[in-house]
Amino acid sequence: MKQLIVIADMEGASGIFDSNREACYHEEMYPQGTLWRSYGRACITSDVLAVCNAAIDMGIDDILLYDMHYAGCKEYNVILEVLPAQVRVFDLEDRCVDWGRIRGQAATHPYGIVTVGQHARNGETNAYFAHTIHTPPIESFWINGIHVAEIGESVMCFSGVPFIANVGCAASHKEAMELSSTVSCITVKNKEAIWEPSREETYPIIYDGIKEAMNDYQRKVPYPEQEMYSCKMYLTDGYHFESPRKFSWRGTFSNQCAAWETHDIQTALSLFWKVHEYIKSDKDQ
């Protein structure tokens, strides 16, 4: 069985731009909005559907999907009912981020991973909705010298699994290529080039791009498994760490930086939210 891991976000999806950014705002968090349900969901669904249909046509018979946008909200952003029968979702309460549980539910050796609907990291130029997981207060998050946002979290969680393609905003590809030099970069919008196509226009681009990427599978390389994962979290202005007296992992805190080390990536990623609990606003001092 060939199992493909698909990790979906939404800010980098087709058809969603600065002019209609409300399409990203999940209804459970923004009940006064209507664009997420009437328009935005169709955009990310189209991108995911293009990936899945292409993968199935290339011989993939099992797809595990994690819809990570607004994790914690019960309703999926992707309209699951329109996806092929070969697509399953990870068993996560309210889609909450639990990288250990996500990795544990996948095959020991998945065929590959595709990231779709991806945005760029905080600080990248010519990007749509650039941020690093939770910006502010996070300025940047580094693992083993790479500035990691949602793409990096996903690909590093599946260290050792070939990174086949990244589908999203043109500016997001920089992070993807730092993780794997052979990843196929499929662009659905480009702020620098002022290229903002509809989801109908990008569907065949994604479909053909995934098939081409999988035809080149023998060249695809993973982010390699490491003996140690060294993490650093930096904060934006206006925030600081309230350093705890004791904590149960190897690490350090300063005013605007926390650092920790682990021997496995799932622990490294789970500690992200533990460390996050010690972030305080300067206004509270």
Residue 27 is part of which domain span? 3-135+148-219
Q: Are residues 27 and 167 in the same domain?
A: yes
Q: Are residues 112 and 246 in the same domain?
A: no
Question: CATH no. for residue 121?
Answer: 3.40.50.10780
Residue pLDDT, tens place only, 160-198? 999 999 999 999 999 999 999 999 999 999 999 999 999
Q: Are residues 155 and 274 in the same domain?
A: no
Taking alpha carbons only, the member of 157, 158, 176, 75 closest to residue 117 is 176
Q: Are residues 123 and 242 in the same domain?
A: no
- Full-model pTM: 0.96
Q: Are residues 152 and 19 in the same domain?
A: yes
| pLDDT score of 284 | 78
Q: Are residues 192 and 246 in the same domain?
A: no
| pLDDT score of 283 | 86
- Residue 142 located in a structural domain: no
How many domains is the chain built from? Answer: 2
- Residue 15 located in a structural domain: yes
Q: Are residues 156 and 263 in the same domain?
A: no
pLDDT-flagged residues of the chain (< 70)? 285
| pLDDT score of 245 | 86
Strand partners, 114: 6, 165
Q: Are residues 233 and 185 in the same domain?
A: no
Q: Are residues 207 and 241 in the same domain?
A: no
Q: Are residues 16 and 113 in the same domain?
A: yes
| pLDDT score of 285 | 66
